[in-house]
Every structure is written in C-alpha cells, then in structure tokens.
Structure 1
Amino acid sequence: MSRAPEERPREERRREERHHEERREERPRTRPREERDRHEQGHERERPRPRRPALDARDAARRAARHVEGLTGRAAEGVTSLERGKDGWVIGIEVVETHRIPDSTDILAEYQVELDDHGELASYRRTERYYRGRGENT
C-alpha cells in the first residue's frame, strides 16, 4: 500500500523528484502534437506557393473545343495539339467542315485556339483544310 506524500520520508520524496527531473531531461523537448501541428500549419501559409494555372490541360482542351463549336457551328472532332504557353494555352482542334459519302472524303479543318489562363478565348484561326482520307505527308 502506498503512503500519502506527507507520510513518506523526506529523502524518498527527494529521490523521486530527482528521478522525474532526470527523466524530463532525457526526453527530447517537443511540443504537444496539437501545438506542433498548429505551428507547422502557420509556417505553411507563409511559404510562397508555386503559381498554378487556373486551368489544367484537359479543361483547356475542352474549353477550346466549345469555343470552336460556338464560333463555327460545327462539332469538334478531336484535339490535335496542346501546348502550354507563358500566359495560357495553344490548342489545335479538328472539325468536320463538310460531311460526304464515303466518310473518307469528308473535308476537315484544323483550328488553332489560344486561351488565357482562365479559359477565355484570346484568338482562333483555321490553319488547315484537308480530306479525311488524305495521308499526313501528301
């Protein structure tokens, strides 16, 4: 059975206190987890974060296709190129301009679309027209 602190001899209490002090010195001085987390979170806010575009590649391609569809009235067939510029995106969009029978004689066009970082149309132009069945280097 343990005795109350007042009842224990003074020397025994001193030995326990020294033992506890030694134990405290042995332990690395760390803050409680919550305090550390709060402290680290504060530092994260202070660090400059890398500038991230408001638009990723997939969203840029989708927006470019919608812009071309809205301006030409024709559905986009696909994305032919995608390039990140310093102020936005440059995207190539392929469109069927004239449907023919057989499909291999359809007339396709490629439009080059430039978008800013927020997906707003900066410019677009038709860069090429060709038959679907035509080879790349003919």
Structure 2
Amino acid sequence: MANTKNTRDSQNSPNEPEEREPDEERKPAPERKPAPERETAEERPRPMEVLRNARAQLAELTGMNPESVSSFEQTEDGWALEVEVLELARVPDTMSLMASYQVELDPEGQLTGYRKVRRYERGRADARGR
C-alpha cells in the first residue's frame, strides 16, 4: 500500500518556496521614507542634466525644438539659459527664422519661466556682435 500521508517535507522540494499555514500572518513591508531634499552641492543636478531637462521642458511648452544653448549660468535663484530655437524653416536654410529664448530654472532644474528675447534669420550676422 502506498504512503498517502501529506507532509511539508514530502511535498516541497528544496528549491520551492515553503508554503505558509493559513493562520500565519504576513508582516507588512517596512514603510519607505521619502528621499530627503537635496541639500549639498553633490546632490544638486549636474549641469548637463539641467541643460537636457531645460531643452525638453521648453520644447514641450513651445512646441519647437531647441537647437542649441548659447549661454548657461548658475544664479542665486537657480539657473539661467539662453536657448536658440528654429521657429520657421525656409529654403535655403540660411533664411530660416530663429529665436533666442531666455529660460529661468529653479535650483532643481525645473523651468519657472521663459521669454523670447530676439528673432533673427539664421544666415544673418548679429548686429550686436560687431
């Protein structure tokens, strides 16, 4: 006659997880604490992260793709950038209309404001640069 007695040892192989008895209670997972605010210079976003995020945020808000960043600096209030954007593509490309946007970011790199400061043709020299 075959042994029909069911035991945990005879039913589970060493690689299978052990089954729990119905009356065993599961302990809740420990609560995760939110990440602390960035407080030191090491925890601030890196300049390249700020640039990438600023370009992505400006593109989402304006619907235009930034082509380059012509100025970038850290300020007391966060970051300030000047971003060059293609506003209207023309043929030849040197006649395309470009715009410079001044972009303000908080210390974490989130866009807090922007404004168009200049509009120009791509192939035209800047009168201010003479």
TM superposition score category, shorter chain reference: 0.5 to 0.7
* Distance in 1 separating the partners of 2:51 and 2:117: 17
8 Å CA contact 1:111–1:124 kept in 2: the answer is yes
Structure with max Cα Rg: 1
Name the TM-score, length of structure 1 as normaliser.
0.60
8 Å CA contact 1:64–1:93 kept in 2: the answer is no
Give the share of equivalent positions with the same residue, in percent: 38
* Root-mean-square deviation over aligned CA pairs: 1.6
Name the TM-score, length of structure 2 as normaliser.
0.64
Specify the SS of the correspondent of 2:127.
Answer: coil
Q: Counting helix residues as a fraction of each chain, which structure ranks higher?
A: 1
- Runs of 4+ with deviation above 6 angstroms: none
Corresponding residue pairs, total: 89
Unaligned runs of 5+ in 2: 1-38
User: Which of 81, 84, 107 pairs up with 2:71?
Assistant: 81
1:99 aligns with 2:89: yes
Unaligned runs of 5+ in 1: 1-49
Map of 1:51 onto structure 2: 40
AA partner of residue 95 (structure 1): V
* Distance in 2 separating the partners of 1:115 and 1:54: 13
